[in-house]
Structure formats: structure tokens, C-alpha cells
Amino acid sequence: MSYIIALVKFLDSDQPFPVECFRTDLAAHDQIVVRLGNGQLRYALVVAIKYLNWDCKGRIECKASESSENHLGDIVLPYGSPINMGITTHAAFVFAAKGLGWIPLKPSQRTYRNVLGSTNETSTAYVFVRRNGIDIKISEKVSKELLKPYSLCQCSLSDGITVRHSLSHTSFNLFEGILRFCRSFAANGRDLERYFVPVGSSDKRTEELKAMSVARKSQHSEMQDIYDACSDGGGGPAYLGDGMWITSTGRIEDQGR
């Protein structure tokens, strides 16, 4: 699973191919090395960077300029690849938040991977980390002594000022955005409302995938209408003519006369 997805093109194809990306310093037109699902290494060109939180088979190993080739022309990766750069994972976000003084707590709900808490002069804030998003809550201040590391967090989103953010389809790196909230809250910032406008979408599909889904459903509906018109109601295949039959699932089969 990768929050950042790079759409890349290979030299022998014009079709963009999604791969996992674990660095924040890449942009369109960068030349990279991709490891495919079968383990093969290939050069590619970045077309676009998206925040989709997808599970892809391929991943970016490094920039092309960071790799080399042996005497056979095979790609040689740099030490430590795949190279990670910036805050791109849940673990990197939690590590960075703890570095800012936020206290790790134990989630009371299985929905959350991690919970972090902090207090400022007036309030207590919690950051709830989910597989597909991050939630924030600000409530009345509690004693800092109650926020003991890895103690059970009994609070929920049912009260206080809350928001639920989704990782997929954000227009910016949500991990970095929540870290900005962490800094602003610790500094007793007054302009915190902007962090409570929901971003992202729980639907991970792109507009192209949504359109394909609608087209498939429309086609299935049309075939279902044909089946209903031709079948005897028994649930078996219905004869269309010339040896062609249509099944109850809308599939056309050549079963002969």
C-alpha cells in the first residue's frame, strides 16, 4: 500500500502505469527506475504524482541518475534502495509527530492504527491514524499527566471539535498537512479552523475508473434485459438464435443449436 502513487510511462508504451512511490522529491518528467511485480527493473518517466493510497505491484526504486549499469547493461540499484524521501507512510508520520512532542496512546478501537495526544494552554488534541485516513479532535484541556505514553485512549469523535480526513484524492500530502496542525496546536495557534475542513475521498477510484464502472453496470443491465426477454423464467440459458445462448449473468455463449 502506498499513499503516493506515481503514474509512469515506459519507453515501449504510451499508457500510464501506476506504481508505488515512497519519496516526495519527484515530479513530472523525472526519469526513474521501477521494479515491476515480477522483479524486473525498468527505466520509466514520471507522468504525474497522485495521492491515491493504492496497493500496486510495481514501485519506484530510485531516480535514474542514482542508478548505474554493469558491463552487461543491467540496471544496478544504489545501496539502500528503494530510496525513501520525506513523510510518505503512516510510520514516518507517527515518528515525526512524536518528534514534535506528541504522546503516543493506545487506541481503544481497532479502526485506528495509532493515536497521538497533546495539550496546549487551553485544549487537548488527539490525532487518530487510520489505514485510509487521519482524524483530528480538539476537546477541553485535560491534565498532561493523564496523557501517559501508550496508555489507553478512551476518547472518541462523538464530542469536541472533530474532522475525518481521507488519504485518497487529497490535493496535497495529508501527512505533512497534519504535521503542520501538530505544530500550530503546540504553538497555541488561533487559526486552527482550516485543519477541520474534510479533505480526500473514501472512494479510491479515479474519475476514469468510475466511468468504466458505470459503463460496465449499464452494459450488464442491457444484457440482463435481453436475458429476461428471452428466458423461460427457469434460470437456465436462453436461446438467442444461430447457436448463441445468453446466461442468467448476461454472458453470451456459443452452445450450438
Read off the pTM.
0.80
Cell of residue 3, nine digits: 499513499
Asked if residue 157 is part of any domain, the answer here is yes
Q: Write the pLDDT tens digit of every residue in 61-94.
A: 999 999 999 999 999 999 999 999 999 999 999 9
Burial 68-104 (b: 16+ CB within 10 A, else e): eeeeeeebebeeebbbeebbbbbeebbebbeeeebbb
Pick the more confident residue, 226 or 1: 1
Whether 102 and 172 map to the same domain: the answer is yes
**Of 148 and 231, more confident:** 148
For residue 155, what pLDDT is reported?
Answer: 86
Is 160 inside any structural domain? yes
| pLDDT for position 256 | 56
Burial per residue of 159-192, b for 16 or more beta-carbon CB atoms within 10 angstroms, e otherwise: ebebbbbbbbbbeebbbebbbebbebbeeeeeeb
Task: Among 17, 52, 76, give the residue marking a domain's end.
Answer: 76
Is 204 within the bounds of a domain? no
Report the pLDDT value the prediction gives residue 143, as an integer from 0 to 100. 74
Q: Is pLDDT above 80 for 225?
A: no
Residue 53, CA distances (Å) to 4, 87, 151, 214 in order? 6, 14, 29, 22
Domain end among 18, 45, 76 = 76
Domain contains 156: yes
Q: State the total domains in the chain.
A: 3
- The whole-angstrom separation of Cα 140 and Cα 155 is 12
- How many Å apart are CA 184 and CA 172, to the nearest integer? 18
Tell me if 203 is assigned to some domain. Answer: no
| pLDDT tens digits, 15-32 | 899 999 999 999 999 999
Looking at the structure, do residues 219 and 153 belong to the same domain, yes or no? no
- Please check whether residue 119 lies inside any domain of the structure: yes
Could you tell me the residue range of the domain that residue 109 belongs to? Answer: 90-196
For residues 228 and 220, which has the higher predicted lDDT (pLDDT)? 228
| 71 plus 97 within the same structural domain | no
Q: What is the mean pLDDT of residues 148-174?
A: 94
Q: Does the residue 83 lie in any domain?
A: no
- Give the H or E element holding residue 185: helix 174-186
Q: What DSSP string describes 40-82?
A: -EEEEEEEEEEEEEE--S-EEEEEGGG-EE-TT--EEPPTTPS
Residue 91 exposure: Cα atoms within 13 Å on the Cβ side: 4
Distance (Å, whole) CA 19 – CA 229: 45
112-148: pLDDT as tens digits: 999 999 999 999 999 999 999 999 999 988 777 778 9
Same domain flag for 58 and 106: no
In a domain, residue 172? The reply is: yes
CB atoms within 10 A of CB 58: 19
Spatial contact of 97 and 182, defined as CB atoms under 8 Å apart: yes
Whether 32 and 120 map to the same domain: the answer is no
Residues 65, 161 within the same domain: no
| Paired strand residues for 105 | 115
Coil, helix or strand at residue 143: coil
Q: Of the candidates 196, 224, 244, which is a domain's last residue?
A: 196
Do 130 and 223 sit in the same domain of this protein? no
The pLDDT-based confidence of 49 (bands split at 50, 70, 90) is very high
Residue 248: predicted pLDDT: 72
User: Is the same domain home to 153 and 190?
Assistant: yes
- pLDDT value of residue 215: 53
Mark whether 37 and 127 lie in a shared domain.
no
